[in-house]
Amino acid sequence: KLVAFCVHIKKCLFLVYLSTPTPSPSPSPQPQTEKLKVRLAGYPRKHNEGRIELFYKGEWGTICDDDFSLANANVLCRQLGFVSATGWTHSAKYGKGQGKIWLDNVQCGGGEKSIELCKSRGWGNSDCTHDEDAGVVCKDERIPGFVDSNNKIEEVRLRPVVAMAKKKMPITEGVVEVKYKDGWAQICDIGWTIKNTRVVCGMLGFPHERKVNKNFYKLYLERQKNYFHIHSVACLGTEVHLAACPLEFSKPNATSACTGGMPAVVSCMPGPLFMQNSGLKKKLKISSNVRLKGGSRVGEGRVEVLKDNEWGTVCDDRWNLQSASVVCRELGFGSAKEALTGGRLGQGMGPIYMNEVKCVGQERSIWNCPFKNITMEDCQHMEDAAVRCNIPYMGLENTIRITGGRTRYEGRVEVLSLDSNGTQSWGLICGESWTTKEAMVACRQLGLGYANQGLQETWYWDSSNVTEMVMSGVKCTGSEMSLSQCQHHKTVSCQKAAAKFAAGVICSETASDLVLNASLVQQTVYIEDRPLHMLYCAAEEDCLSKSAAKANWPYGHRRLLRFSSQIHNIGRADFKPKAGRHSWVWHACHGHYHSMDIFTHYDLLNANGTKVAEGHKASFCLEDTDCQEGVSKRYECANFGDQGITVGCWDLYRHDIDCQWIDITDVKPGNYILQVVINPNYEVAESDFTNNAMKCNCKYDGHRIWLHNCHIGDAFSEEAERRFEKYPGQLNNRIS
């Protein structure tokens, strides 16, 4: 959907088209049909055994044990998400239930999908009392993919004890508390192991666990009233959630629930990204041959692995939470929250290295897990695996907010700051020098994904409740987690300090991601000596270097380095020019509109990075030349059509199109680097700017030209990139 708005009051100077933010895709939706609910209840019970309760006509009730059988238990256990039953109980073994006795004389065959389908006396027709409530014991093996919502541990947190309460974020040590349907409770620590701690730390976003000084806590906790809900936790350490560990529930508030024990206390080791102590930070290295790409938040993205100095992706066959957790932990996050398949966080471009990754969960790296090598036919990038990792709660979103916008994804940025009296207050940021990079950090800190735009003026938004300007000169690299990590002026200095010139953002859950096909550049490169009489149009569009002006037109020629550019959108949103149609420029010579003034830079660099051929800024007419299977074209240049590049499509600028070249007439023979940068000024939001540059080693002997090692900016390892950068110099030395 397009939303347009004017960015000049009197004349509609240019219309800005924005894509309205789309909410992030939610994980598999729950079926809407009112299904019969089944749960395990009573005490003492385990996650896989207990009194059977059914939710029918808005009321929980029990089943009478008359005629009960293992076949009945099998049907019920499967409804509870277990593969089968190992037994059943009678005479209210787990205590008496309350309310209705819904079913009596139940006689299942064993294969029914639901207890409703079994023979019985009918709903609510029973002559039993609750002394006869039936229970089941299920085999402790889950039906794959089943989520238990009844014995759900909704959330886990660490409560630091008073002496440590003032410690900075994140909270890494404290009493474990679990949230269940009636509130928060503690875990009895009898039999507690470091493996349990590992699971808790993973859920809270920490890769490693530490030993804790129990005696310190004991003194303190003995004087407290404790509420235990869970005991006998026995995790393997590879689970991604406490609920996946064998454990038992005790009656909440039962004082006898943990005789001889105390509340479980854990201590976790944060990853380097979340560590305050910079000394430790250096010691703790995260994996350098695994990375996440294309996620809109910290700790999520497509999984990429490094092999032979080149990055590639992982195919999603058998991709699961255990393997995803190994990736998360080796990158300094906790266990995995989601293991995503089907290129859900965007498709990669390079090689695919792994398939059928089968981690146990204890491996230090995904490279230590069993996997299969890929043969070309096995997998496509449509199947790229991705992860969402648990990350520690840092509270960063509490010190930033946006106001005045039309949706919750846009507005003036306000930060919480301390005034001279030490009181906290919200204030605006000066719009001068505010760019997409700063907006990227603001959107990340707000938890709203990518920056669609960074705005230097925000007068067109509601300004009834504006605050003072408290920050100016903000300069970010773009990768910071919060604005406080960016540079800014010590004291506020803003030329136009009125609220209408305050910095604003428009955030989005998705963004495009443009990538040039590097191998096509390498394959299509050649030199052409083009007669000047064929270059009038090109000269008019500034596609030749300055010396062309001094040529003896129309006699002579220019030497052109030509190649094809195929630009793919591998992101999750269409790439659309920032400016609306009204500001597109008609290029009479070429007979089409250019929607972006500077869309790419074409440069030839020498060993020290100096440009040797005059950089040429190409403006494009953007369209879908072609698309991958199953995607249809949406944008075309002809007839003042809509311009852009659809996700899964590419725009091909063939080598024989006018201006698709670098004018190398004045370049001496030698070794160079050919560099093409797409969207160089960050004009349009992308999920990843590190892959916007494409580089090749270039050898020119005065007659012919060769390209080697063409690759996009983030395709090589750092070491390989350093070697690549040295190439021109090294060869020069060898030649001289």
Ligand X SMILES: *[C@@H]1O[C@H](CO)[C@@H](O)[C@H](O)[C@H]1NC(C)=O
Least Cβ distance, residue 615 to ligand X (angstroms): 15
Helices then strands, each counted (H, E), the chain: 9, 42
Least Cβ distance, residue 492 to ligand X (angstroms): 13
Residue closer to ligand X by CB (options 353, 724) is 353
* Residue from 44, 95, 110, 252 in contact with ligand X (CB under 6 A): 252
Q: Which among 527, 535, 443 is positioned nearest to 482, based on CA atoms?
A: 443
Least Cβ distance, residue 613 to ligand X (angstroms): 13
Least Cβ distance, residue 472 to ligand X (angstroms): 17
Residue closer to ligand X by CB (options 367, 450) is 367
Q: Which two tokens stand for residue 735?
A: 């030649």
d(CA 577, CA 583): 11
Kindly state whether residue 736 participates in binding ligand X, applying the rule CB under 6 A. no
**Using CB under 6 A, which of the segments 13-21, 323-331, 604-612, 690-698 binds ligand X?**
604-612
Q: Which among 434, 435, 439, 426 is positioned nearest to 469, based on CA atoms?
A: 426
Q: β-strands 352-355, 386-389: how paired?
A: unpaired
- Residues numbered 333 to 372 that lie near ligand X (CB under 6 A) are 349, 372
Residue closer to ligand X by CB (options 224, 485) is 224
Q: β-strands 228-231, 208-210: how paired?
A: unpaired
Kindly state whether residue 517 participates in binding ligand X, applying the rule CB under 6 A. yes
Least Cβ distance, residue 347 to ligand X (angstroms): 9
Least Cβ distance, residue 365 to ligand X (angstroms): 16
Residue closer to ligand X by CB (options 45, 241) is 45
Question: Side chain identity at 481, as an amino acid letter?
Answer: M
Q: Which among 142, 155, 571 is positioned nearest to 321, based on CA atoms?
A: 142
Least Cβ distance, residue 307 to ligand X (angstroms): 7
Residue closer to ligand X by CB (options 74, 675) is 675
**Using CB under 6 A, which of the segments 82-90, 186-194, 602-610, 684-692 binds ligand X?**
602-610
Contacts with ligand X, 208-237, as mask; x by CB under 6 A: -------------------x----------
- Cβ-count burial 606-622 (b if 16+ within 10 Å, e if not): bbeeeebbbbbbbbbbb
Least Cβ distance, residue 628 to ligand X (angstroms): 8
Q: Which among 612, 615, 618, 608 is positioned nearest to 700, based on CA atoms?
A: 612
Question: CA triplet 78, 81, 85: central angle to 5 degrees?
Answer: 45
Kindly state whether residue 519 participates in binding ligand X, applying the rule CB under 6 A. yes
Residue closer to ligand X by CB (options 119, 358) is 358
Kindly state whether residue 253 participates in binding ligand X, applying the rule CB under 6 A. yes
Least Cβ distance, residue 520 to ligand X (angstroms): 4
149's CB contacts (< 8 A; 6+ apart) are none
Residue closer to ligand X by CB (options 349, 483) is 349
Task: Give the total of residues touching ligand X (CB under 6 A).
Answer: 19
* Residue from 424, 610, 632, 736 in contact with ligand X (CB under 6 A): 610
d(CA 79, CA 40): 11
Residue closer to ligand X by CB (options 345, 712) is 712
- Residues numbered 521 to 540 that lie near ligand X (CB under 6 A) are 523
* Residue from 98, 255, 276, 373 in contact with ligand X (CB under 6 A): 373
Kindly state whether residue 277 participates in binding ligand X, applying the rule CB under 6 A. no
Kindly state whether residue 626 participates in binding ligand X, applying the rule CB under 6 A. no
Residue closer to ligand X by CB (options 59, 419) is 419
Residue closer to ligand X by CB (options 270, 350) is 350
Residue closer to ligand X by CB (options 465, 495) is 465
d(CA 230, CA 250): 6
Q: Which among 236, 623, 571, 530 is positioned nearest to 381, based on CA atoms?
A: 571
d(CA 592, CA 586): 6
Q: Which among 531, 527, 563, 529 is positioned nearest to 704, based on CA atoms?
A: 527
Distance, first Cα to last Cα, the chain: 59
Q: Taking the alpha carbons of 676, 681, 684, 689 in that order, is the dihedral positive or negative?
A: positive
* Residue from 72, 335, 565, 606 in contact with ligand X (CB under 6 A): 606
Residue closer to ligand X by CB (options 552, 608) is 608
Q: Calculate the alpha carbon distances from 624 to 346, 452, 576, 641 in Å.
A: 18, 21, 11, 11
Least Cβ distance, residue 500 to ligand X (angstroms): 16
**Using CB under 6 A, which of the segments 167-175, 331-339, 457-465, 475-483 binds ligand X?**
457-465
Least Cβ distance, residue 381 to ligand X (angstroms): 8
d(CA 736, CA 727): 14
Q: β-strands 600-605, 611-618: how paired?
A: antiparallel
* Residue from 70, 212, 360, 520 in contact with ligand X (CB under 6 A): 520
Q: Which class for 115: exposed (0-12), middle (13-18), buried (19 or more C-beta within 10 A)? A: buried
Least Cβ distance, residue 155 to ligand X (angstroms): 16
Residue closer to ligand X by CB (options 71, 710) is 710
Residue closer to ligand X by CB (options 582, 611) is 611
Residue closer to ligand X by CB (options 225, 283) is 225
**Using CB under 6 A, which of the segments 356-364, 512-520, 630-638, 661-669 binds ligand X?**
512-520
Q: Calculate the alpha carbon distances from 64 to 36, 93, 104, 137 in Å.
A: 17, 12, 5, 16
What is 467-536 written as a DSSP string? --EEE---B--S--SSGGGSB--SS---SS-SGGGB-EEEEES--B-EEE-HHHHHHH-EEEEEEGGG-H
- Residues numbered 27 to 56 that lie near ligand X (CB under 6 A) are none
**Using CB under 6 A, which of the segments 147-155, 459-467, 481-489, 639-647 binds ligand X?**
459-467
Please name the helix (run of DSSP H) or strand (run of DSSP E) that holds residue 86, with its range, or none. strand 85-89
Residue closer to ligand X by CB (options 419, 656) is 419
Q: β-strands 585-587, 592-594: how paired?
A: antiparallel
* Residue from 608, 632, 639, 736 in contact with ligand X (CB under 6 A): 608
Contacts with ligand X, 462-481, as mask; x by CB under 6 A: x-xx----------------
Q: Which two tokens stand for residue 560?
A: 């052109």
Least Cβ distance, residue 246 to ligand X (angstroms): 25
Q: Calculate the alpha carbon distances from 236 to 155, 201, 282, 581 in Å.
A: 20, 14, 30, 60
- Residues numbered 380 to 419 that lie near ligand X (CB under 6 A) are 419
Kindly state whether residue 421 participates in binding ligand X, applying the rule CB under 6 A. yes
Q: Which among 214, 303, 228, 223 is positioned nearest to 259, based on CA atoms?
A: 228
Least Cβ distance, residue 519 to ligand X (angstroms): 5
Least Cβ distance, residue 594 to ligand X (angstroms): 25
* Residue from 26, 256, 375, 420 in contact with ligand X (CB under 6 A): 420
Least Cβ distance, residue 269 to ligand X (angstroms): 31
Residue closer to ligand X by CB (options 659, 694) is 694
d(CA 522, CA 525): 6
d(CA 601, CA 678): 7
Residues that bind ligand X (CB under 6 A): 227, 252-253, 349, 372-373, 419-421, 462, 464-465, 517, 519-520, 523, 606, 608, 610
